[in-house]
Amino acid sequence: MTSQLSNKAFALVTRKLARKSCHSRELRAALVRYGFAEEEITLALERAASYIDDEAWLRDQIAKYASRGKSNLEIMAKLSSKGIPKSEYERLLPRGPGPLSTLIQKKYRILLEEGVPREERLKALASIARRGFSHSQIEAALSEGVPHLS
């Protein structure tokens, strides 16, 4: 039989999920912050298991960050700050120049133009590198020719 506190914990979980999709670790952290005991947290998360899809949530978050031109390092930092271990999402990280191409198209189109002063190009390249993209990734994306927006 479930206790009144585990019912309150379950109600909190369902309210949070009604507002937005969450990872089970985020929900667990919220329940801990509210002072629920481990047993109540476990019961509430078990009851809500059919509403929680960690894999889909991770795919959505990674796709959202990648579409904003975030590097894998930035994506990993965001997910780690939410308490999600690297082993859960590492295989889902984007491969290839996708996020970098997006970033160059949106913010660094200067790198695609001819006749740009060297200093301006270097500033743009340094800014991209500070976002977590390696020199080889940047070089590969630019040498392959980042597709232009139509």
> How does pLDDT run along the chain (150 residues), one tens digit per residue?
457 777 899 999 999 999 999 999 999 999 999 999 999 999 999 999 999 999 999 999 999 998 888 888 899 999 999 889 999 999 999 887 777 888 888 888 888 888 889 999 899 999 999 988 888 888 888 877 654 433
Confidence at residue 112, expressed as pLDDT on a 0 to 100 scale: 84
User: Is the same domain home to 20 and 63?
Assistant: no
Query: Measured between alpha carbons, how far is 48 from 62 in angstroms, rounded to an integer?
Result: 23
Query: Measured between alpha carbons, how far is 146 from 143 in angstroms, rounded to an integer?
Result: 8
| Residue 150 forms part of a structural domain | no
User: Is the same domain home to 66 and 133?
Assistant: yes
Confidence at residue 145, expressed as pLDDT on a 0 to 100 scale: 63
User: Is the same domain home to 101 and 131?
Assistant: yes
State the residue range of the domain holding 138.
56-144
Q: Which of 20, 37, 52 is the last residue of a domain?
A: 52
User: Is the same domain home to 48 and 76?
Assistant: no
**AA letter at 49:** A
pTM for the whole structure: 0.70
User: Is the same domain home to 97 and 127?
Assistant: yes
Confidence at residue 1, expressed as pLDDT on a 0 to 100 scale: 43
Q: Mind spelling out the 3-state secondary structure of the chain?
A: CCCHHHHHHHHHHHHHHHHCCCCHHHHHHHHHHCCCCHHHHHHHHHHCHHHCCHHHHHHHHHHHHHHCCCCHHHHHHHHHHCCCCHHHHHHHCCCCCHHHHHHHHHHCHHHHCCCCCHHHHHHHHHHHHHCCCCHHHHHHHHHHCCCCCC
Confidence at residue 138, expressed as pLDDT on a 0 to 100 scale: 87
User: Is the same domain home to 69 and 125?
Assistant: yes
| Residue 149 forms part of a structural domain | no
User: Is the same domain home to 47 and 62?
Assistant: no
User: Is the same domain home to 101 and 129?
Assistant: yes
Give the pair of three-digit tokens for residue 130: 């500070």
Confidence at residue 98, expressed as pLDDT on a 0 to 100 scale: 75
Confidence at residue 135, expressed as pLDDT on a 0 to 100 scale: 87
Domain count, the chain: 2
Query: Measured between alpha carbons, how far is 50 from 13 in angstroms, rounded to an integer?
Result: 12
User: Is the same domain home to 70 and 31?
Assistant: no
Confidence at residue 103, expressed as pLDDT on a 0 to 100 scale: 84
User: Is the same domain home to 79 and 120?
Assistant: yes
User: Is the same domain home to 67 and 119?
Assistant: yes
